[in-house]
């Protein structure tokens, strides 16, 4: 599993002279040998679980806000994005079937467009991971402040507010986890993402049904001005495509991968849509960017949902930034002390993500920006472009090419409009 994960995310090492850098060549050779002998023995059900875990993220907290922002009719767009993301997942499989040497998402970009394609895909992946990790800190700070409101504290004349205080505390708790070489324990905790999403959904429904909140809000049919934000947040829910190549290469029976994708998308889409509808019916247009901020703190079901929300990102943070750390480490000579180098890089990433969380403490706006620029690009636009190039169907005019061109065009439109809307929201919030 560790080898597959490294193959998925690492950038190619620069070629060096064998005479002057014999040791580095050996390191690269060993790494390649390890990747070529990685086991492929994952069963259908285990692959389904891994796929569900990849698709089940913090987006579940913001879908009620997305629905409230866009109105009931925006659910049509949600299902359209889910369908498009599923189809682009199938395109990733088809791209890999053209060349057995393709083992990761960057490999697909390189096969289609050379080194530039690999670089673009890699940058999109790592930037998304980085911004999502910063979003984890914002989420933690918001929910902890909601449970334990305080005025913060003052150090050397500098006043640190309550939310900022909790962001710093969570960062200190997370920091040692990015120093670990072996993340197997955190991997198991992170794999509870599927269970965590189920617990959050169940707890929220229980709160609405039995804890006095009810499902009495009617909401709006459509809010045109909120459609761009809703689209971006919906797209953020389906940003697991960089993981699909690893899942595919690890399967025993690769011909079943399409069924795995179908099952995972159906289950996750039902889960996302359910919590969006129930949350909107419970809190209406006033639902906050994270539905856990609206839950009555005194109720046991609410506490279960909030505590589940708090624990999961702490465990996942290190797994999100580790691919970035590995990519940076692999870009430097292997004779360096990779252990110390990794600690320095990990610490720098935590510090910089804290700065982002403090400067832009707007969870919905930041995740909307991630969804518009990175999720749409990596999950819809890039798979379509790569498949067009690798398959060569761009040379002929048929229904499949029309579908791909329409998806690319719509993805670019959503990226432009969603990015503009998200940046505008951030600027407005900063001025308040």
| Domain 42-431 falls under CATH 3.40.50.300 | no
- Residue 45 to residue 50: CA distance in whole angstroms: 9
Tokens for 163? 């939310």
- pLDDT exceeding 90 applies to what percent of the chain? 55
Packing angle, helices 382-391 and 74-97, rounded to 10: 40
> What pLDDT is recorded for position 138?
94
What are the respective helix, strand and coil percentages of the chain, to the nearest 5? 75, 0, 20
Report which of 219, 194, 204 is spatially closest to residue 275, judged by C-alpha positions: 204
> pLDDT, tens digit, for every residue of 83-93?
999 999 999 99
Q: Considering the chain, what is the average pLDDT of its residues?
A: 84
If phi over 0 gives left and psi between -120 and 50 gives alpha, with beta otherwise, what is residue 287? beta
> What pLDDT is recorded for position 180?
78
> What pLDDT is recorded for position 347?
94
- Residue 395 to residue 397: CA distance in whole angstroms: 7
Quick check: 37 pLDDT over 60?
A: no
Tokens for 393? 């169907």
> What pLDDT is recorded for position 304?
92
At 358, which helix (H) or strand (E)?
Answer: helix 338-359
Quick check: 195 pLDDT over 50?
A: yes
Q: Where are the alpha helices (DSSP H) in 178-243?
A: 184-190, 193-210, 227-236
The answer, as to whether pTM is greater than 0.95, is no
SS3 track for 159-179: EECHHHHHHHHHHHHHHHHHH
Quick check: 154 pLDDT over 70?
A: no
Q: Where are the alpha helices (DSSP H) in 20-154?
A: 22-36, 44-55, 59-70, 74-97, 105-147
- Residue 87 to residue 261: CA distance in whole angstroms: 9
- For residue 158, the cross-strand partners are 155
* Mean pLDDT within 79-100: 95
Quick check: 378 pLDDT over 70?
A: yes
DSSP helix/strand/coil, 125: helix
Is the CB of residue 399 less than 8 Å from the CB of residue 352?
no
Quick check: 193 pLDDT over 90?
A: no
- Residue 170 to residue 310: CA distance in whole angstroms: 10
Beta-carbon contacts of residue 49 (< 8 Å; ≥ 6 apart): 191, 194
DSSP helix/strand/coil, 158: strand
At 155, which helix (H) or strand (E)?
Answer: strand 153-155
- Residue 40 to residue 38: CA distance in whole angstroms: 7
**Domain segments of the chain as ranges:** 42-431
> pLDDT, tens digit, for every residue of 118-147?
999 999 989 998 999 999 999 999 999 888
> pLDDT, tens digit, for every residue of 260-308?
999 999 999 999 999 999 999 999 999 999 999 999 988 899 999 999 8
Helices (H) and strands (E) in the chain, counts: 18, 2
Is the CB of residue 393 less than 8 Å from the CB of residue 401?
yes
Distance of CA 91 to the CA centre of its chain: 19
């Amino acid at each position: 599993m560790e080898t597959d994960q490294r193959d998925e995310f690492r950038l190619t090492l620069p070629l060096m002279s064998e005479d002057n850098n014999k040791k580095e060549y050996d390191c690269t050779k060993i790494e390649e040998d390890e990747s070529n002998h990685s086991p492929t023995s994952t069963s259908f059900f285990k692959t389904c679980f891994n796929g569900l875990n990849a698709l089940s993220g913090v987006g579940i907290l913001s879908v009620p806000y997305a629905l409230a922002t866009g109105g009931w009719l925006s659910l049509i767009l949600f299902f359209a994005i889910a369908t498009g993301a599923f189809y682009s997942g199938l395109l990733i499989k088809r791209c890999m079937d053209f060349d057995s040497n393709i083992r990761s998402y960057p490999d697909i970009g390189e096969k289609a467009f050379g080194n530039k394609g690999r670089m673009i895909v890699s940058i999109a992946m790592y930037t998304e991971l980085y911004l999502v990790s910063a979003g984890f800190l914002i989420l933690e700070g918001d929910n902890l402040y909601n449970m334990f409101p305080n005025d913060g504290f003052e150090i050397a004349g500098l006043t640190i507010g309550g939310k900022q205080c909790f962001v710093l505390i969570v960062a200190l708790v997370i920091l040692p986890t990015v120093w670990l070489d072996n993340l197997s324990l955190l991997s198991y905790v992170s794999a509870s993402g599927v269970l965590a999403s189920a617990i959050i959904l169940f707890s929220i429904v229980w709160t609405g049904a039995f804890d006095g909140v009810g499902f009495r809000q009617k909401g709006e049919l459509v809010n045109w001005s909120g459609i761009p934000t809703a689209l971006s947040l919906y797209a953020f829910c389906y940003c697991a495509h960089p993981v699909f190549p690893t899942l595919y290469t690890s399967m025993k029976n690769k011909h079943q991968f399409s069924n795995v994708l179908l099952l995972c998308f159906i289950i996750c889409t039902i889960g996302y849509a359910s919590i969006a509808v129930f949350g909107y019916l419970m809190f209406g247009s006033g639902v906050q960017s994270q539905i856990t901020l609206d839950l009555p703190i005194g109720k046991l079901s609410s506490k279960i949902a909030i505590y589940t929300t708090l624990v999961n990102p702490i465990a996942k943070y290190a797994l999100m930034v580790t691919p970035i750390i590995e990519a940076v480490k692999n870009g430097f000579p292997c004779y360096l002390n990779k252990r110390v180098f990794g600690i320095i890089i990990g610490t720098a990433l935590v510090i910089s993500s804290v700065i982002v969380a403090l400067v832009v403490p707007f969870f919905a706006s930041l995740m909307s920006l991630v969804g518009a620029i990175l999720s749409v690009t990596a999950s819809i636009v890039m798979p379509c472009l790569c498949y067009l190039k690798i398959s060569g169907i761009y040379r002929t005019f048929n229904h499949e090419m029309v579908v791909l061109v329409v998806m690319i065009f719509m993805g670019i439109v959503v990226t432009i409009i969603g990015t503009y809307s998200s940046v505008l929201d951030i600027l407005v919030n900063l001025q308040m």
